[in-house]
Amino acid sequence: MIITHAEIDGFKNLKGISFDPDPKYNIITGRNAQGKTNLLEAMWIMSGCKSFRGSKEKDYISLDGNKMSAEIKLLDSVREHKIKFEMTGNRNVPKTIHLNGVRQKGTKSLFDTFKCIAFTPEDTEIIRGAPEKRRNFTDMAAAQLEPVFVSHINRNNAIMNQRNCLLKKIMQGQAKPDILSAWDRQAAKEGAVISYMRNSYVKKINKICGKLYRMISGGNEDMELEYRSNVFAKDDFSAPCGESAYERYYRKLCESAEYDIRTGSTHSGVNRDEILIKINGVSAKDYASQGQIKSAALVMKLAQAEIFMQRSKDAPVVFLDDVMGELDGNRQRFIFDIIKNMQVFLTTPNESALLPEIKGRIIHISEGRITDA
């Protein structure tokens, strides 16, 4: 899919942006702090995902204004879509989202419509950050393939919030322990499905990461991913997810209930899973060098793109924030070879550091405006 038109106003420092992107390469340049990343971010949020740099929604609004609007036209293999996202600085007024002129209740329909992948300097957190970063990456990438996964994640999070509240009440003697089991039965169904989905995605991405990492390291190094469920053993996943998986998950929650009550939080289940990433047989989080961490993070995102392409005829749109400048020609070529069928938006303060064959539309940003439209 490609973005054919974008209009943004009042998003952070962006003002009066209106442009028709190139179907291939869009190179966003300008000095520091002019709004290059803001421009990527404004397009990215149209996918219904949270900001890739962790901005809060209230920070989307320009400091010297009171509302923002962003609109894109998107062309996929079936039709053109129009997505419009508007917000005001007034917290009591909800944001409004329109898809093809129809007001939407939430962002789910955007997630189903606009598929994109962002590469940012913060991606290294997937490798070296807390387990939550790896779980989030896996869940988002799996949800891109199977949108129903989002509902399981949301329901599980809601049940876990309730369960954790209940644990605190039980600890304070305001509720009886036996009411936990009704929640745990529900949690078990969602948790088992999530575990199986994670296992299946990690198996897929493991294969591709292995291949890509060998290529990016000149054939010398290995990368491996392994899903570590804290409920299921590896062999359990050979049977399909069903009653016996729910039962196993439920029993695990029961086993840790006493400890959970004492501590007021849930210590088993999918919210404690780890996805172990190994380079040359040892944990990348603990032992990898800076360079290995950067390569591994890049490979994870490229593998995500490759898996997506195997499943869908509509390639995702790719956003590259400040990642090309520091890569040598060979690595840049490697990346562009994998994303060659995708529309790309990349930011760089220095377009001369890009490979000469990356030619496309150059968009200069200065003080939040496009200066060469």
- Catalog residues that contact ligand ADP under the rule CB under 6 A: 12-13, 30, 32-38, 59, 62-63, 347
- The option from Mg ion, ligand ADP, none interacting with 148 (CB < 5 to 8 A, set by class) reads none
Residues with Cβ < 8 Å from 191, sequence gap 6 or more? 156, 231, 249, 253, 269, 270
Query: Of 28 and 160, which has the nearer Cβ to Mg ion?
Result: 28
Contact 52, 120 (CB under 8 A): yes
- The option from Mg ion, ligand ADP, none interacting with 33 (CB < 5 to 8 A, set by class) reads ligand ADP
Query: Of 149 and 319, which has the nearer Cβ to Mg ion?
Result: 319
Query: Of 36 and 204, which has the nearer Cβ to Mg ion?
Result: 36
Query: Of 33 and 373, which has the nearer Cβ to ligand ADP?
Result: 33
For residue 37, the minimal CB distance to Mg ion (Å) is: 3
User: Among residues 104, 125, 185, 187, which one has the least CA distance to residue 152?
Assistant: 187
Site string for Mg ion, 28-67 (x = CB under 5 A): --------xx------------------------------
- The option from ligand ADP, Mg ion, none interacting with 310 (CB < 5 to 8 A, set by class) reads none
Torsion sign (Cα): 108, 110, 112, 118: negative
CA distance 252 to 190: 14
Contact 16, 369 (CB under 8 A): yes
For residue 36, the minimal CB distance to Mg ion (Å) is: 5
Quick one: tokens of 54?
């962790």
For residue 63, the minimal CB distance to ligand ADP (Å) is: 4
Contact 202, 226 (CB under 8 A): yes
Query: Of 57 and 357, which has the nearer Cβ to ligand ADP?
Result: 57
- The option from Mg ion, ligand ADP, none interacting with 269 (CB < 5 to 8 A, set by class) reads none
Q: Give yes or no for residue 109 binding Mg ion (CB under 5 A).
A: no
For residue 59, the minimal CB distance to ligand ADP (Å) is: 5
Quick one: tokens of 142?
């799996």
CA distance 191 to 33: 42
- The option from ligand ADP, Mg ion, none interacting with 80 (CB < 5 to 8 A, set by class) reads none
* Residue 322 burial (C-beta neighbours within 10 Å; 0-12, 13-18, 19+): middle
For residue 286, the minimal CB distance to ligand ADP (Å) is: 31
Query: Considering CB under 5 A, how many residues would be counted as binding Mg ion?
Result: 2
For residue 61, the minimal CB distance to ligand ADP (Å) is: 6
Helices 243-263 and 180-216, interaxial angle, to 10°? 100
Residues with Cβ < 8 Å from 87, sequence gap 6 or more? 57, 60, 61, 67, 68, 69, 95, 96
- Strand (E) or helix (H) holding 81: strand 80-88
Query: Of 110 and 118, which has the nearer Cβ to Mg ion?
Result: 118
- The option from Mg ion, ligand ADP, none interacting with 30 (CB < 5 to 8 A, set by class) reads ligand ADP
CA distance 21 to 6: 8
Contact 319, 52 (CB under 8 A): yes
Query: Of 59 and 328, which has the nearer Cβ to ligand ADP?
Result: 59
For residue 220, the minimal CB distance to Mg ion (Å) is: 32
Contact 226, 285 (CB under 8 A): no
Query: Of 120 and 332, which has the nearer Cβ to Mg ion?
Result: 120
For residue 364, the minimal CB distance to Mg ion (Å) is: 14
- The option from ligand ADP, Mg ion, none interacting with 62 (CB < 5 to 8 A, set by class) reads ligand ADP
Binding site for Mg ion (CB under 5 A): 36-37
